[in-house]
Homo-oligomer: A and B are copies of this chain.
Amino acid sequence: MPYVNIKITREGATKEQKAALISGVTDLLRDVLDKDPATTFVLIDEVDLADWGVHGRSVEELRQS
Contacts and interface: CB of A to CB of B under 8 A. Distances in A.
A41 B8 contact: no
Interface in A2-45: 2-9, 13, 15, 17-29, 32-33, 35, 37-45
How many identical subunits does the complex contain?
6
A13 B26 contact: no
A27 B21 CA distance: 11
A26 to B, nearest CB: 4
A57 B22 contact: yes
B53 A41 contact: yes
A1 B52 contact: yes
Interface of A: 1-9, 13, 15, 17-29, 32-33, 35, 37-47, 50-61
